[in-house]
Structures are given as structure tokens and as C-alpha cells.
Amino acid sequence: MRVAVLSDIHGNLPALDAVLADVYQEGPDLIVLNGDLADGPMPAQTLDRLAQLGDRAIWVRGHSDRRLVDAFDGNFMIPGLDTDTAADWFGWCAARLHPWHRDLLANLPPAVTLNVDGLGPVAFCHATARDDGEYILVDSPVSHYKSAFAGLPAVTVVVGHTHMPFDRLAAGRRIVNAGSVGLQYGHQGASWAMLGGPDITLRRTRYDAAAAAAILLAAARDLPGVEGFTGNVRDPAPGDEALQAFTQIIRLQARKQ
């Protein structure tokens, strides 16, 4: 079995459509949607497009999917963060969903394991095996990898969350980040991954980012923070800046534990 992995779409429908065109040419048996799918400028439209994949798609929950459900239900909260800004973002997105969108996201599993051609059992989770919002980076220490995926039987794991693709061996496992379809850091183009036949390939689909940003802005002019989102679509943040920002978040989280 061959599997395509799409993660961190974040409601960027133009990027998703571009990636799906490449995926269809590859002809995988399944498409794993590895979390953080809909919060962004086109949330309902993105979920509608993904739902059209039917049985070809395997869905996995990301932290933003969980927060979107919380916003829909009226009990949104992120302890220790700027909840007002985040609540405005997720509240806007949730207000554009139908109840069936909410139920779809609410029932997603935190992880799945599939047998992939040439790789054997492969686990898919959005961030780490223990937390769908935990940051783990290409340069994180081996001890972090060991604890973050402890107890997971599969020795190959595909994640997302940081929007930065990588392929690393650590603590006896191969950890692959498929990158982000909808909101890239460090490079142009929408990132995704192909698994099987027989190895793992990190892929990148080029699309007209300026045209996509214009479409997204037109669809969500009143979405709080949309200018920053579409600005990053046009001109992705440098990879070193993103790594520094994530490293600071990890340090802050460690101090609070």
C-alpha cells in the first residue's frame, strides 16, 4: 500500500487543490490527513473538499481541529496563551462551519497506524504520540524524541504541526515531518509526503501563491489575523526564524511543567 500524507492545510483551499492534483497523479491507495485541516480563511470549503475524498482518506486529529470544535461548542480556552487573539481566530472559523463539520472533527482519532509498502507499520500523529500540540523539531535532543514517542510500537512515525518538513533518525525511530500544505515556513510551495514503493519521499507542490493569497483574503477579509496568514502564503517566514520561535515556545512550556 502507498500512502500520501497531507498535514496542516489550515483552510488554504487553493494550496490543497494544487496538492491534490499532484496526489491524484501519484495514485496512492490512501491519503492520510494528518491534522490542523480547517482553521483558516476557507474552513468550510476545505472540509467539504476533503470530505469528497471519501474512503480514500484517513483522518487524524490535530490540536487546531480540537480547538475548532471547542470554539464551535462555545468553550474555547488555551491556558497560558493569548486566548483573546486565538479565540477571535477560531471563533470566526467555527462560525462558518455546519454541525456536521463539527461532528466530523470531534470524532477524529489522535493517531492511526497503517502497513505501508516497504516500510511496515507506520504511525501517523499530528505532533507527538503523547500530545497533539507538542513541538518537536529537527534539532530537538534525542531525549525529547525518546519521551515524546515512548510506548509507540511503530518505528516509523509521520508527524506535522511545525510546518517544516524533515526526515530524522532518533531514539531508534524514523520520524518524518510531512510539512504543511497551507502555511509553509522556510520555503515556497506546499509540502506533503509520499510513503511506500518502497521508501518515503518529501514532496513539494509549487502553486501561484500570490493568486492564492488574493483568493484567501477575498474569502476572509474580516478574519482577525488574515493579513498575516496571507502574507506568509505569499512570502513564507524564513526557516531559521521559525525554528527560533518554536524553540522559545518549547523552553517556555518546559518551565511551566
Distance of CA 231 to the CA centre of its chain: 19
Q: Residue 77: what pLDDT?
A: 76
Q: Residue 78: what pLDDT?
A: 65
Q: Residue 84: what pLDDT?
A: 64
Look up the CATH number of domain 3-256: 3.60.21.10
How far apart CA 180 and CA 161 sit, in angstroms, is 8
Domain residue spans of the chain: 3-256
| Contacts of range 218-222, beta carbons closer than 8 Å, 24 or more positions apart | 219/41, 219/42, 219/45, 220/40, 220/41, 220/42, 220/92, 222/92
Q: What is the pLDDT along the chain (257 residues), one digit of tens a residue?
A: 999 999 999 999 999 999 999 999 999 999 999 999 999 999 999 999 999 999 999 999 999 999 999 999 998 876 555 566 888 999 999 999 999 999 999 999 999 999 999 999 999 999 999 999 999 999 999 999 999 999 899 999 999 999 999 999 999 999 999 999 999 999 999 999 999 989 999 999 999 999 999 999 999 999 999 999 999 999 999 999 999 999 988 887 777 65
Distance of CA 91 to the CA centre of its chain: 19
Nearest to 49 by CA among 70, 91, 21: 21
pTM score over 0.85: yes
Residue written as grid cell 524533515: 166
Q: Residue 253: what pLDDT?
A: 72
How far apart CA 146 and CA 150 sit, in angstroms, is 6
Q: Residue 197: what pLDDT?
A: 85
